[in-house]
Amino acid sequence: MKTLLRNNNLKVFFFVLALAWLQTGMVFAQQIRAVATWPALADITRQIGKELVNVESLATGVEDPHGVPVKPSFVPRLNRADVLILIGLNDEHSWLPALLEVANNSKILPGRPGYIDCSLGISVLEVPNRLDRAEGDLHPNGNPHYLLDPVRAKIVAQNIATGLTRNFPQHQQAFDKNLKAYVAELDNWIVRWEKAAAPLRGVKFVEYHPEWAYLADRFGMKLVGSVELKPGIEPTPNHIVELVQQIKQEKAQLLIFGAQNPRLPQQIASETGIKVVRLYSGGGSQPETDTYIKWIDYTVRTLVQSVS
């Protein structure tokens, strides 16, 4: 052992190792550690923070928003995070609170500066008139799937910039500049999407779960019904029979589902001829949806192709 300790090569090796470790720490220390709950939020954060921010998403985008597993592997990421960016409106209620409970990071607890709730200032749709579980698995403050509306996404970008500035005021100029550029880019895309989505105006559709209200609101689609009996409640056979009749009467053209089981949509399609489209409401589920803009573009294109 003594011989080993006297070995100069070994000393140099450990010195270099320590130096390398310190340098790695310094590189990490320079970047803001951000954790977003969904890939689309992670991408918008990346656009605002650019090289100043290192962003990770907890969910991959393919999960059912109510079925994201409470993985302990998320805990170390939350433990080290400087900021947490989330959808809010109870979207993450089934999994995030349990993780925050053990993450030992008071910076990102609700109400703290690092807790960036992107729903602030969003004009929320489908706020329940009656808060009662007899109405299903309700979101008390309204439908949380507002990211599907690119106009509302501009508010999200603003919220993220505000949240990052609140925590790192020294970078305000950079965040403001990046926000301006991103909003301008979004504006350009919104004009394109509005043109491209013209065929969707007035299209009647059915959704599996209440996820598509904001997209429909933006592009003028009309909701006819839901596969679920109530939000989060699987349908009864009677409900399916009624829905099939409704689809036929209303001449609904599209049935949109995401992380749900395709069995029922396919069954309804075989009985009504309605076109079934699988789209995820969290972004990032596939390579062509790995940025917010690519995700919305893919969604609009897919829907337009489905009705044309």
Question: Judged by CB under 8 A, which stretch of 9-17, 40-48, 74-82, 175-183 contacts other proteins?
Answer: 74-82
Helix, coil or strand: residue 83: strand
Question: Judged by CB under 8 A, which stretch of 16-24, 46-54, 57-65, 161-169 contacts other proteins?
Answer: 57-65
Q: Is 103 in the site for other proteins (CB under 8 A)?
A: yes
Q: How far is the CB of 216 from other proteins (least distance, A)?
A: 14
Q: How far is the CB of 45 from other proteins (least distance, A)?
A: 21
Residue from 41, 48, 53, 99 binding other proteins (CB under 8 A): 99
Q: How far is the CB of 110 from other proteins (least distance, A)?
A: 9
d(C-alpha 37, C-alpha 97), whole Å: 12
Residue from 75, 179, 206, 268 binding other proteins (CB under 8 A): 75
Q: Is 25 in the site for other proteins (CB under 8 A)?
A: no
Q: Is 56 in the site for other proteins (CB under 8 A)?
A: no
d(C-alpha 59, C-alpha 57), whole Å: 6
Phi and psi torsions of 64, nearest 5°: -65, 130
Q: Is 268 in the site for other proteins (CB under 8 A)?
A: no
Q: How far is the CB of 174 from other proteins (least distance, A)?
A: 28
299 burial level (CB within 10 Å; 0-12, 13-18, 19+): buried
**Closer to other proteins by Cβ: residue 125 or 304:** 125
**Which positions ≥6 away from 83 have C-beta within 8 Å?**
32, 33, 34, 35, 107, 108, 114, 115, 116, 163, 164, 167
Size of the residue set binding other proteins (CB under 8 A): 39
d(C-alpha 114, C-alpha 167), whole Å: 7
Q: Is 260 in the site for other proteins (CB under 8 A)?
A: yes
**Which positions ≥6 away from 134 have C-beta within 8 Å?**
none
Return the residues of window 137-196 that contact other proteins according to CB under 8 A.
137, 141-142
267-272 long-range contacts (CB < 8 A, ≥24 apart) are: 267/240, 268/206, 268/227, 268/240, 268/243, 268/244, 271/244, 272/244, 272/247, 272/248
Q: What is the dihedral of CA 23, 28, 29, 32, to 10 degrees?
A: 160
Packing angle between helix 237-250 and helix 263-272, nearest 10 degrees?
A: 40
Phi and psi torsions of 54, nearest 5°: -110, 110
**Closer to other proteins by Cβ: residue 152 or 204:** 152
Q: Is 220 in the site for other proteins (CB under 8 A)?
A: no
Q: How far is the CB of 249 from other proteins (least distance, A)?
A: 28
Give the contact letters, 111-130, x = binds to other proteins (CB under 8 A), - = no.
Answer: ------------xxx-x---
**Closer to other proteins by Cβ: residue 174 or 228:** 228
Q: Is 211 in the site for other proteins (CB under 8 A)?
A: no
- Contact residues: other proteins, CB under 8 A: 60, 62-64, 66-73, 75-76, 79-80, 97-99, 101-104, 106, 109, 123-125, 127, 133, 137, 141-142, 232-234, 259-261
